[in-house]
Amino acid sequence: MPERVGIVGGGIVGVALARALAARGDEVTVLEKEGRLAEHQTGHNSGVVHAGLYYAPGSLKATLCAAGRASIREFCEQKGLPYRQVGKLVVAVDESEVAALDEIERRSIENRVPDLARIDDVQQLRDIEPHVAGIAAVHSPHTAVVDYSTITEAMAQDVRADGGRILLGHEVTAMTVEGGKIRVSTPVSDHVFDRVVVCAGLQSDVVARFVGADPSPKILPFRGEYWELASERTDLVNGMIYPVPDPRFPFLGVHFTRGVYDNVHVGPNAVPALAREGYRWLTISPRDTWESLRWPGAPSLAKKHWRMGIDEISGSLIKPLYFRKAQRFVPELRMSDLTHKAGAGVRAQAWGRGGELLDDFAVDQVGPVTLLRNAPSPAATSSIAIADYVIEHYLSSAAA
C-alpha cells in the first residue's frame, strides 16, 4: 500500500531515495532547508564516481559503491548527462608507501574493481600519466567524473514527474511521533507522514536528536579546499592522480582530478571546520565549535590526529605547503600553476563517543523514522544503491 513518506534533506541521497519511492507509487515529500537542491556536500565535492578501491571488502561502502557506480552511469546515459571515464592512478612515490598500496590492490581485487592493473614499471606509469612521479601504482581505468548537482536536479525531475513534491526553503525544526505517524514542522509548514527518512548530511545528528536518537555518532565537519590548475597547464594531468591514503585517516589525501568540464582541480585537504557549513576559515559557528570541543571523543581524536591536524591546517593557511604536497606527484608543477582557490566542501564525518571514526555507511531507526547517520564519500557514487538498500531494509513491508 502506498505510504506518505517525508524525506529531510535534498542532497543526492535524499533525492535518489525520493525518486525510488515515487517510482513505486509512494506519496513523497522532500523538505530541503536551502533555496536549491545539492547546496552542501553534493554540490561541493570532487565529482568522482569511485570504482571501490579503498573500502573494506563486504562493507556497505564496498557493496553499495559497486552497485551505485553502475546505476549512476546508467542514469547519466539515460538522461544524456556527462559521464567521463578519465581513469585513476593511485601512486606510491617511495618505498614507504608500497605496503599500503599493496593493501589497496588487495581490497580492489576483492571488491572486483573492473580492469584494475598493478603497475611497477615507471615507463608504464608515464604512459598513463606522462608527468607523474612514482615507483608503483594501481590503475583503475573506469573511475569516472560527473556533475553531481546536475544529476540531483535530473533525479528531482523524475520525482516531480511521478507526483512527488520537493519543497525548498523548508527547514525541519521539529519532529514528533504521534499515534504511529510523524508530525514534521518547518517554520512555514506542518506535515504528517507515515514514515520519515532523514538524509541531512552535515546536520544528520542534529535532526536525529529531534526524535530522541542517541547523540552518538556525532558529525564533526572537515573542510576540504581545492585549488584550480591554470588552464594552460591542465595537460600535466590526463585523468586522476591520487596519493596512497593514510589508513589511519578517513580522507583520501590531496589529489589531481580532471573534472567533467575539463578543468583540473587539486585537493581537497582536510581541516576541522569551525561551522558545519563553514566553507571558509571566517565562517565560524560558536555553537558548532563548542559542541565539537566538548564531545567526549574530542580529546582522544585530537591525541590520535594532532600531527595530521597541524599539517593540514598549515597547508590550508600557507600555499607553499599545500603546493609541496601536490608537487610530490607532479614535479613539473609550479606554484603559479595553482591559480586560485576553487571552492571548498565540508565533509559530514561521523565519530563515536570514544573518538572512534565511523568508517562505514550507517543507518539507524527510531520508530517510523529512519536516520542516515553516516553517508560520507563514496555516498554520491552510491546514492542510487543507498536508496535501494534503505527501501529494502527499512521501508519495505517485509522490513516494517
Ligand X SMILES: Cc1cc2nc3c(=O)[nH]c(=O)nc-3n(C[C@H](O)[C@H](O)[C@H](O)COP(=O)(O)OP(=O)(O)OC[C@H]3O[C@@H](n4cnc5c(N)ncnc54)[C@H](O)[C@@H]3O)c2cc1C
Residues that bind ligand X (CB under 6 A): 8-14, 31-34, 39-42, 44-48, 50, 171-172, 199-203, 207, 224, 268, 345-347, 375-381
For ligand X, the closer CB: 135 or 167:
167
- Using CB positions, name the residue nearest to ligand X: 11
**Strand bridging mode 4-8 / 27-31:** parallel
For ligand X, the closer CB: 37 or 136:
37
**CA terminus-to-terminus distance, the chain:** 12
Minimum distance of ligand X from residue 220's CB (angstroms): 13
For ligand X, the closer CB: 33 or 233:
33
Minimum distance of ligand X from residue 271's CB (angstroms): 11
For ligand X, the closer CB: 199 or 213:
199
Minimum distance of ligand X from residue 166's CB (angstroms): 11
For ligand X, the closer CB: 14 or 245:
14
For ligand X, the closer CB: 132 or 199:
199
* Cα–Cα distance, 385 to 98 (Å, whole number): 32
Handedness of CA 335, 337, 340, 345 (dihedral sign): negative
Minimum distance of ligand X from residue 28's CB (angstroms): 15
State the DSSP H helix or E strand holding residue 196, giving kind and residue range, or none if neither.
strand 195-198
Report the Cα 63 to chain-centroid distance in Å.
16
Minimum distance of ligand X from residue 77's CB (angstroms): 18
Cell numbers for 213, please give them.
536518537
Q: Of 49, 5, 7, nearest to 31 (Cα)? A: 7
DSSP reduced 3-state for 390: helix
Instruction: Using CB atoms within 10 Å of the CB of residue 269, give its burial: 0 to 12 exposed, 13 to 18 middle, 19+ buried.
Output: buried
Minimum distance of ligand X from residue 3's CB (angstroms): 20
Sheet containing strand 189-193, edge to edge, reads: 174-178, 181-186, 189-193
Cα R_g (the chain), whole angstroms: 21
Minimum distance of ligand X from residue 189's CB (angstroms): 11
For ligand X, the closer CB: 133 or 184:
184
Backbone angles phi, psi at 200, to 5 degrees: -100, 15
Q: Find all residues with CB under 8 Å of 311, minimum gap 6, and list them.
A: none
Q: Say how many CA atoms lie within 13 Å of 120 toward its Cβ.
A: 5
